[in-house]
């Protein structure tokens, strides 16, 4: 059964562009991870300063392997060879879900 992880990031208005650029610079870094199924970065439209980072994984073990390997390394090095950077988010919370039902477009 697939699992969904949603990282809720509180991002001050002046840091939005920084956050989005950092995610854009990492494009491709999660796609080759074993068990990875989907990623979306969701920008708030109104009423909140919270971005949602949506990832879907084949199972919990695949997510944990990514957390302990590629993701941990990227966060320790700021995503590149430079020294670690100051976080763009002022806080984060991780939500976890099992996929019980899903559907897609027909045809």
Confidence band of 82 (pLDDT split at 50, 70, 90): low
Q: What is the set of domains in the chain, with CATH numbers?
A: 3-79+86-98 (3.30.70.100)
Cβ-count burial 18-28 (b if 16+ within 10 Å, e if not): bbeebbeeeee
Confidence band of 11 (pLDDT split at 50, 70, 90): very high
**The predicted structure's pLDDT at residue 74:** 61
pTM attached to this predicted model = 0.82
Among 28-32, 42-46, 90-94, which is the least confidently predicted range?
A: 28-32
55 neighbors 38 (Cβ within 8 angstroms): yes
| Residue of 10, 63, 72 lying closest to 34 (CA atoms) | 63
In Å, what is the CA distance from 40 to each residue of 4, 6, 25? 11, 10, 14
Confidence band of 84 (pLDDT split at 50, 70, 90): low
């Amino acid at each position: 059964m697939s699992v969904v992880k949603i990282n809720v990031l509180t991002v001050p208005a002046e840091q939005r562009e920084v956050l989005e650029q950092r995610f854009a610079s990492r494009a491709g870094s999660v796609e080759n991870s074993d068990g990875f199924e989907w990623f979306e970065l969701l920008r708030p439209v109104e009423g909140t300063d919270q971005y949602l980072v949506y990832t879907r994984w084949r199972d919990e073990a695949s997510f944990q392997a990514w957390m302990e390997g590629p993701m941990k390394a990227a966060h320790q090095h700021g995503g590149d060879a430079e020294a670690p950077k100051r976080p763009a988010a002022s806080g984060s919370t991780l939500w976890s879900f099992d996929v019980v039902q899903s559907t897609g477009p027909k045809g």
